[in-house]
Amino acid sequence: MASLSDQEIRHYRERGYVVPQFRLDDAWVSRLQDALNTLIRNNPGVRPEKLVSAHIEGQNDEGVRGSRDFFDLAMNPDIIDLVAQAIGPDVILWGCHVFCKPAGEGYETPWHQDGHYWPIRPLANCTVWVALEPSTRENGCLRVIPGSHTDKKLHPHLHEDRTDLTLKALRYMPGTSLFDRSLRPADGKTGVAVSFATRPPWLLRGEDKTGRNDFAVGHRDA
C-alpha cells in the first residue's frame, strides 16, 4: 500500500501541492511511454497538448482516440491510496489529460486556475501529475503558486486566443462533490474541445456522498 508521509500531507494541505517520494516502477513507465507514442500516432489531427480524456478507450466524445493504458494508470491502487489520503476515502475519477509539449513549437501554458473550467461543486479536486520525461526549468516545467488555494477564490483570467490546460494529469474529486453537467466554462471555451455533458465519471473507492453523481452517462456497453 502506497502512502504519503505526515510531512507530505501537511505540505499538500498548506501549500496546495506535494512532490511525493512515491514513484511508478520502470515497467509502468515503459508501458506509459509506449502508450503515449501510440496515442499520438492514433490522433494525427489533434495537437499533442490537447489529448483530452485519453483514458477512454477508442474514439471518445471529445475527439480523441484514447487508450486503456491511461485508464489502468488512473485505476492503479497505489495512486488511489495516495489520492484518498489527500481528499478522503471516497474517490471519483472524472478526467485525464495527456499534455505533450513538442520541442521548439509546443504551446506555452499561461498562468491559470483550472477551477474556472471544471463543473465540480463544491470545487474540490486532486490532480495527479505524472511526468514521463524529465521536467526542468529549462524545458518548461509545471509551476505553482504555493498556498494560492487557501483563499478559495477564482480570480479573473486574461483570456487569449488559445487557453491551454495542464500536463499529463489524472483528475479525481471526493465523493462529497457533484460533477454538475449543467455548468459551463466561465468564458464558454477552454481552448480544448471538452464535452462535460457526456464525460463519464468512475466511482473508484467508497461512495457518492452527494447521491447525485450520474455514473451511467457516457459509459459504453462492454
pLDDT tens digit sequence for 81-134: 999 999 999 999 999 998 887 665 555 666 667 777 788 999 899 999 998 877
Contact 32, 69 (CB under 8 A): yes
Nearest-angstrom CA–CA distance, 1 and 18: 18
Strand partners, 51: 98
Give the SS3 label for residue 49.
Answer: coil
Tell me the pTM: 0.84
Least-confidence region, from 11-20, 83-92, 140-149, 169-178: 140-149
Q: What is the pLDDT of residue 110?
A: 64
Q: What is the pLDDT of residues 36-78, one digit of tens each?
A: 999 999 999 998 888 999 999 999 988 999 999 999 999 999 9
Grid coordinates standing for 113?
Answer: 486556475
Q: How far is CA 216 from CA 87, 171, 200, 202, 213, in A?
A: 23, 19, 7, 9, 9
Task: Give 6-102+109-136+161-205's CATH code, choosing from 2.60.120.620, 3.20.20.70, 2.60.260.20, 3.40.50.150.
Answer: 2.60.120.620
pLDDT at residue number 166: 32
Q: What residue segments make up the domains of the chain, in order of their start?
A: 6-102+109-136+161-205
Q: What is the enclosing helix (H) or strand (E) of 59? A: strand 58-59
Max intra-chain CA distance, the chain: 47
